[in-house]
Amino acid sequence: MIDIDVPGFGRLQLSRLVCDFNGTLARDGRLLDELRDPIARLAKTIEVHVATADTFGTAKGELTGIPCDVVVLQGDDQALAKAALVERFGANSVVAVGNGRNDRLMLASAALGIGVIGDEGLAGDALAASDIVTRCATEALQLLLEPRRIIATLRD
């Protein structure tokens, strides 16, 4: 668990990470190499879940050997499906990381929503739903590995 008391923001007791795959952890269906180690390190502290429509059909293969649960979401309304996943896990214990418009509801419902700009950019709706915005997924995961950075960003 990641336990952080942020003055003026509140206490975060995070036991699950829910990440978008394409555009956040991956480019064109391929996991960014620099994310393998941070994901594995985080998985020692919190449960890691990757939520994806798996547009390229590569998510499970790309994440083989990395300690995470890959959740391939069905249906047309990915935004609602991702938010429902966060709610099912207990939103108050979830940190969500994403970049797309279909990530906006999970970012908003999670205890901590981290928007990632990345190569595809960050959808305006996802930006508005984020508590923190980073330039890339590596930075987002590093915040969780060094939680004092979260305090520095969110304190009142």
Q: What pLDDT digit, counting tens, does each position of 14-34 carry?
A: 999 999 999 999 999 999 999
Alpha-carbon dihedral of residues 33, 136, 99, 151, nearest 10 degrees?
120
**Selection from 95, 46, 40 nearest residue 64 by Cα:** 40
What tens digit of pLDDT does each residue of 110-130 get?
999 999 998 889 999 999 999
CATH number of the domain at 18, please: 3.40.50.1000
Domain residue limits at 61: 2-154
What stretch of H or E contains 90?
none
Return the structure tokens found at 115. 């928007």
Distance, CA of 119 to CA of 114 (rounded, Å) = 16
What tens digit of pLDDT does each residue of 144-156 get?
999 999 999 999 9
Is it the case that residue 75 has pLDDT exceeding 90?
no
Instruction: Give the global pTM.
Output: 0.95
In this structure, what are the phi and psi dihedrals at residue 5, rounded to the nearest 5 degrees? -105, 110
* Alpha helix ranges (H) inside the chain: 36-42, 59-62, 78-89, 104-109, 124-129, 137-145, 148-154
What stretch of H or E contains 97?
strand 94-98
Burial class of residue 148 (count of CB atoms within 10 Å of its CB; 0-12, 13-18, 19+): exposed
Domain count, the chain: 1
Is it the case that residue 74 has pLDDT exceeding 90?
no
Contact 88, 94 (CB under 8 A): no
The pLDDT value recorded for residue 13 is 97
**Selection from 1, 21, 20, 10 nearest residue 150 by Cα:** 10
